[in-house]
Amino acid sequence: MALAPQVLAIDLGTSGMKAALVSPDGTVTGWAERPVPLRVLPGGGAEQDPVAWWDALAEVVADLGRDHPEHLRAVTTICSSTQGEGTIAVDADGEPLTQCVTWLDMRGAGHLRRQFAGFPAYQGMSLFKIVRWLRLTGGMPSVTGKDPAAHMLFIRDEMPDIYERTKTFLNVLDWINLKLTGRTVATVDSILTSWVTDNRKADAIRYAPSLVAASGIDGDKFPPIVKCTEVIGTLAPSAADHLGLPRSVRVVAGAIDNTAAAVGAGTVRDNEAHLYLGTSSWIAAHVPRKKTDVVAGIASIPCAIPDRYLMTALQATAGANLTWLRDKIVEFDDPLVSAGHISRDEGTIFDAFDKIIPSVPAGSDGVLYMPWLYGERAPVDDPHLRAGFLNISLETTRSDLLRAVFEGVALNTRWMTGAVNRFLGTPMSSLVITGGAARSSSWCQIFADVLGVEIRRDARPVLVNARGAGWIGAVGAGLIDFSDISELAQNNEVFSPGSDQARYDEIFAIYTRLHKQLAPVYKSLNKAQ
């Protein structure tokens, strides 16, 4: 029996290059990855080498070819999901003039404030310009300098010779597509955080002349805009040789990671939400209208589905709290871990955590944890907030602290769902949970109890971005429609709210009071940050 046409799904994150082979029905065959270093520089710099991405892509495709030769031979389409908010200056020949200034890089913050200063001002930027951004784009540049609007100004002001030689500024996805096809384009979602587009019509995203003129960047340095599902070409000869694939393979434009995850989770119907649980976390849902909740920091933005927007509410740190536990608090040979009956050969430290949590009653014996390790984004945008434990006694155990961390992230997510429900105009009754941290069954049950909604777990949550890229590629290639995806998505377990829900209702009321009482304290302690 002949294999279905395969999509080579590229998944490029900050940690490295990954790729998978995806069938139109969402079946993922094969998975290969290579780490790519992140270079952290003084003054808030964070860069990656785009050439290293390209070299790593050839390596992971070769791995897939060795392990799944028939599936690789069946590849007819390539589609990518990548990290967003990166910036690469390229010359007229398409060669990178800079490293990628990544989404973690804050060196452009001062340049952004100088470019957009004015009176009256909010966070150093003209209030009139902010209103125009909100009206046309739905959002505004990050005052931290962590998006292309600031990155391009940093290059303009700090590297004037490179700026003059720059033909185009490209986001991460755009550069990968340039290498694949030789064509320079941006997608409706990759261009978003340059903050120069008119997004008021979902199916006609275009540049706003007034925003381009005010950006401080020459208008001809912005690439043409295409839809995520557009076939932008076939493999360039150099790319075909580099990857060992036929030149006839089509390339679909693809999407940045948040957009791809929304498709990969199978949540393509209006107001159908998913919770992505990774280093950070977010609740997202496709919606029919452009809308912004300035107070809660939630907006609907251009996405892969051509006539829809994607509402996204971002929580700054979720799984990062577990990584903090692993790296700063607990060692693998710690007795706490052995209590989970997991050895190094049997699983990860997170598997041990998952086994320990059910041994502690809901409420963690009175311990509360605020998960604000890196400030918060929604439902309050406050960079001064920090994490903390509350109500520790002589009887408190480390297992209590462990469960409190898991509960604290879920409580913070419940806080965010109030704003999400108002934004959607209807309360969520069910959520798909996906992302790497969704592998924790104990955490999924805590989310069900704390949120009071049914939690449906993605059958393969780690692969959500690759599967999303695969499905976007399949739609672009005419193999499926977006409307097919809901029936193709697979969940492997449903977690329903249990008897602990009432206990969490009481705790949540205390949790929200804590923010009001502690926010001024954190601002005083961290006012220099």
Encoded tokens for 267: 């949540």
pTM to 2 decimals? 0.90
Tell me the β-bridge partners of 11: 18, 81
Residue at 519: amino acid letter = A
Instruction: Report residue 26: phi and psi, to 5°.
Output: 95, 0
Interatomic CA distance for residues 267 and 249, integer angstroms: 28
List C-alpha distances in Å: 311 to 117, 132, 510: 29, 20, 28
287: exposed, middle or buried (Cβ count in 10 Å: 0-12, 13-18, 19+): buried
Q: What is the pLDDT of residues 126-169, one digit of tens each?
A: 999 999 999 999 999 988 898 999 999 999 999 999 999 999 99
Q: What is the DSSP letter of 438?
A: G
Of 192, 172, 194, the residue nearest 99 (C-alpha):
172
Mean pLDDT lowest among 153-157, 174-178, 271-275, 498-502: 498-502
The answer to whether 13 and 35 are in contact (CB under 8 A) is no
Cα within 13 Å of Cα(180), Cβ side: 29
* Domains and their CATH numbers in the chain: 85-170+190-227 (3.30.420.40), 267-525 (3.30.420.40)
Does 234 score more than 70 pLDDT? yes
- Per-residue pLDDT at 341 exceeds 60: no
* Each residue's pLDDT tens digit, 445-495: 999 999 999 999 999 999 999 999 999 999 999 999 999 999 999 999 999
